[in-house]
Amino acid sequence: MKYIDNVNFAKKQRTINGSINSDSLKRTAEILEELGGDINYTIAGSIDHKNKPVLTIRIYGKITTLCQNCLEKLDIPIDCSNDVPIFYTEADMDNALFGDEAGYDDGILADANFDIESFVEDELIMSLPIAPKHKTCNLVEYHDKPNNPFSVLMK
């Protein structure tokens, strides 16, 4: 596991790249069946226009799981990025995210032992589809309208 001081990392405008194997993604494995693949990441620190330290994270790669319809293997391409500001107190973060003048969509707390792998997994989980499935599955038919035995009465 890799840890950073996220505020110093952002202020010094550092960048880190890495890869995480699906075997390390314990929380993701609780959500998806038969998880496989690797996730690559880049995290870059900066200071935003409000003088707030920010981590810009990009995750990309491909994970494999089971389709929720046919239970066959399904590849899910991952490529997303997010700017995540760092807040010094929980009250500041709550106000910036949910207050009357909320100006941010996301945020994390300042942490001298910030867990990078956990951060990457959080972003991965938020990017996943709710119910991963193929656009079309073998041996599974999709119906726009369910068969309703009372539909004959509607005519």
Examine the pLDDT at 135 and tell me if it is beyond 80. Answer: yes
Q: Report the 3 state secondary structure along the chain.
A: CCEECHHHHHHCCCEEEEEEEHHHCHHHHHHCCCCEEEEEEEEEEEECCCCCEEEEEEEEEEEEEECCCCCCEEEEEEEEEEEEEEECCHHHHHHHHHCCCCCCCCCEECCCCEEHHHHHHHHHHHHCCCCCCCCCCCCCCCCCCCCCCCHHHHC
Domain residue spans of the chain: 3-154
Q: Is the pLDDT of residue 137 over 90?
A: no
pLDDT-derived band at 9 (thresholds 50, 70, 90) equals: very high
87-129: pLDDT as tens digits: 999 999 998 889 887 778 899 999 999 999 999 999 999 998 8
Average pLDDT over residues 79-84: 95
- Return the minimum-mean-pLDDT range out of 59-63, 131-135, 136-140: 136-140
Using the predicted structure, report yes or no on whether residue 143 has a pLDDT greater than 60: no
pLDDT confidence band for 140 (50 / 70 / 90) = low
Across the chain, mean pLDDT equals 88
- Residue 70, Ramachandran bin (φ over 0: left; ψ between -120 and 50: alpha; else beta): alpha
Q: What is the mean pLDDT of residues 131-142?
A: 74
Angle at 45 between CA 37 and CA 114, to 5 degrees: 65
